[in-house]
Chains A and B, each alone.
Chain A
Amino acid sequence: MPRVAVAPSGVSQPQEWITDPLERLIRRFRLNKAKFIVVDQITGKRRPPAAAFEPRLPENRPNATRHDKYLSVNVVSSLTNAGLPADWGLDRTQFVAAQLNVDACHSVGFHVTWEPVLGQSNPAHDNPHHGGIQGAVELYRSDMDSFEVAISKLAKASEVIP
């Protein structure tokens, strides 16, 4: 059965900005075989490396099928409204999930939109709870130093979910 869009709280249309600063976002990332998770020595939190907030770039891969216009996340209130857990859809054999607030994205000049993915040829690939952290790709290409600072801050503001 095709999945249907489930809007995050405070949002009614796709591509609409998510403005609630406390809205939680879930970002997945890969670990190497050692499965080592950083414990930030300042905050004491288990968190992802900054690399988890790099967009996938096609600059050297002209035939790339996987590249990002924005940083993909799941939006927790959309998941909650659908009765789903925060780690919905996570393949724990390959990925770990971390959560951060929209406020952290705003603090580095990024905004967040609701970007439901629907109507895929394989309905299992639909994701009604999908969102996007906007601005990372543009910043990478325009101001690398600011980009480095931004992904550091996003990583530091995140926490791995059990």
Chain B
Amino acid sequence: MGEGPVSHAITGDISTWGSAPRRAGSMTQLMSNVRTWFSARPVKADTSQSDSPGTALGVTTPSAVRLEIERRAAFRDAFVAGAELAVEMSEADEMDPPDSDIWNRAAGLLSTFAPLVPSPLVHPLQLGGLSCEWHDRGLNIELRFRRDSTVFAVIEDARREVPEFHGRDPSLSRTLQALGALSERAHQSAPSCRGS
């Protein structure tokens, strides 16, 4: 997995990450849950990003705090935009409304990564599901969350550092490695051809 910040964030059984999913009976509740998942949380010391002497003692730098807040907000906005599109398409009779169980599960699983990686593109899927995908810094990472806790992952790396994978990844074990690589590359200063 490596020594990057994502690996430090990964502990325990993935099913216990975050709070227990809250069943949302409406879009309003779903949006509220999404905002809660990606609200600011206590920041752990980041000794890999030292720009002040105090970091080694566990003090988080102002720039790290600011970056975390920005990334959580970006994640929240990405989920909200995806949910709004889902509602729009549902009202146009093109798909089911978002399944709050599926969306809550996805938000809960990914909230851990919100401070560490760029925000994903969130797009609704048929039968209430959603996809979260990153196309950045040489990596294509796609996660499709569907009913019955199914997660299908697509992982491709132009640099060939992360093994290619197309298949079910319910525990996100394959995805963690890819997101770890994305996090490490995002900390570098190289420009990306992320999208438009």
Query: What is A's interface to B at a CB cutoff of 8 Å?
Result: 30-34, 36-42, 44, 46, 49-51, 54-57, 59-61, 64-66, 144-145, 148-149, 152
Asked if residues A39 and B193 are in contact (CB atoms below 8 Å), the reply is: yes
Asked if residues B135 and A56 are in contact (CB atoms below 8 Å), the reply is: no
Leading 10 A-B pairs by shortest Cβ distance: A32-B85, A32-B81, A148-B152, A51-B123, A66-B93, A39-B195, A38-B135, A60-B96, A54-B126, A57-B126
Distance (Å) between the CB of A116 and the closest chain B CB?
A: 22
Asked if residues A51 and B131 are in contact (CB atoms below 8 Å), the reply is: yes
Asked if residues A51 and B125 are in contact (CB atoms below 8 Å), the reply is: yes
| Interface SS of chain A | loop
Distance (Å) between the CB of A52 and the closest chain B CB?
A: 8
Asked if residues A42 and B84 are in contact (CB atoms below 8 Å), the reply is: no
Q: Which residues of B contact A56 (CB under 8 A)?
A: 94-95, 126
**Which residue of A has the minimal Cβ distance to B153?**
A148
Cβ contact of A36, chosen from B121, B126, B167, cutoff 8 A: B121
Q: B67-96 interface mask toward A, CB cutoff 8 Å, 1 = contact, 0 = none?
A: 000000000011001101100110011111
Q: Can you list 8 pairs linking A and B with CB atoms under 8 Å apart?
A: A34-B77, A39-B195, A41-B139, A41-B157, A49-B131, A49-B142, A60-B96, A61-B93
Q: A41-B140, A49-B123, A54-B126 are in contact. Are A36 and B94 (CB under 8 A)?
A: no
Q: Which residues of A contact B82 (CB under 8 A)?
A: 32
How many Å lie between the Cα of A149 and that of B138 in the bound state?
A: 20
B105 CB–A CB distance under 8 Å: no
Distance (Å) between the CB of A125 and the closest chain B CB?
A: 15
Inter-chain residue pair count (beta carbon < 8 A)? 94
Cβ contact of A30, chosen from B89, B140, B166, cutoff 8 A: B89
Q: B115-145 interface mask toward A, CB cutoff 8 Å, 1 = contact, 0 = none?
A: 0000001111111100101011111101010
Distance (Å) between the CB of A146 and the closest chain B CB?
A: 11
Q: Which residues of A contact B95 (CB under 8 A)?
A: 56-57
How many Å lie between the Cα of A33 and that of B154 in the bound state?
A: 24
Asked if residues B195 and A65 are in contact (CB atoms below 8 Å), the reply is: no
Q: A42-B140, A49-B123, A49-B133 are in contact. List 18 more A-B contacts (CB 8 A).
A: A32-B84, A33-B81, A33-B85, A34-B81, A39-B135, A39-B193, A40-B135, A41-B158, A41-B193, A42-B156, A46-B195, A46-B196, A49-B131, A49-B142, A55-B126, A57-B126, A60-B128, A145-B167
Q: Which residues of B contact A66 (CB under 8 A)?
A: 92-94
Q: Which residues of A contact B131 (CB under 8 A)?
A: 49-51
How many Å lie between the Cα of A119 and that of B95 in the bound state?
A: 26
